[in-house]
Structure 1
Amino acid sequence: MPKAIRFCAGADAKFVNHSFNPSCFSTAYDFEIAIRDIHPGEQLTDDYGYLNLEEPFEAEEEGTDRKVVYPDDIVTYHEEWDALILKNLPYIFDTAQPLLPYLDKQKWHKFRRLENNPSELISILECYCRPQKEMYYAM
């Protein structure tokens, strides 16, 4: 049986479920990275808090303090999430990446520079979209 792996996946990745204890995490570089070992057959999960949701939703109980995903979770948790990304950089760079051909080459190159310059990380907060105020048009 294959051992657990760490990987990155681009926008072509599908069917990643929400978890407050995710196996993957999104980056501001338009791809996901594994933030822990993922075993064969284990579902891929991500924290939907970065998705700029319009409405909050109650998530499945996982024994965590968080129970609801809020539209502004990215503002609240971005520092914690950036730290997770930085913590896992060595694993990403030391692991073969079979999905690499599917990633944007310029974005991967920027991400790859973090190996020597982790302070240059583009924060996940860059993915935040401020809610638009309702606009009324004169008729």
Structure 2
Amino acid sequence: MVKRVSLWNAACPVARSLDAIGDWWSLLIIRDAFSGARRFGEFQNGLGISKGVLTTRLRDLVERGIFETAPASDGTAYREYVLTAKGRGLFPVIVALRQWGEDHLFADGEVRSSLVERGTGQPIAKLIIRSANGRSLAWTDTQVTA
């Protein structure tokens, strides 16, 4: 097995973000947390992930400050995984991945899940990258500086 290389000291925020998130299982765990999953069994049942992999990913996400554990909301002895402010900050990332997938990975009419506004049931608008003054920007309107 190839040893994972840490990108934590990279000068690139994308590389550091990927290092913090870990892997695709972690993003799916975070996605499920946004849908209301809080307990180990909920994540495992929803994802079909092995207990060992899920244990490792949840531990890493807690260590990275994306989740915290809390007493179960129903008063039982269980612990729940709750997104921190840092974890909730990943919502636009999950939405961006969802919208990209909707645009590029499904055939017309193919069944897929949808993200809608809770109060109205209406689809959410596409994410738009904007300048500081609100103007819409394309990738060609941006550059990375050191």
Global fold match (TM > 0.5): no
Bigger fraction of residues in helix: 2
Max Rg structure: 2
Bigger fraction of residues in strand: 1
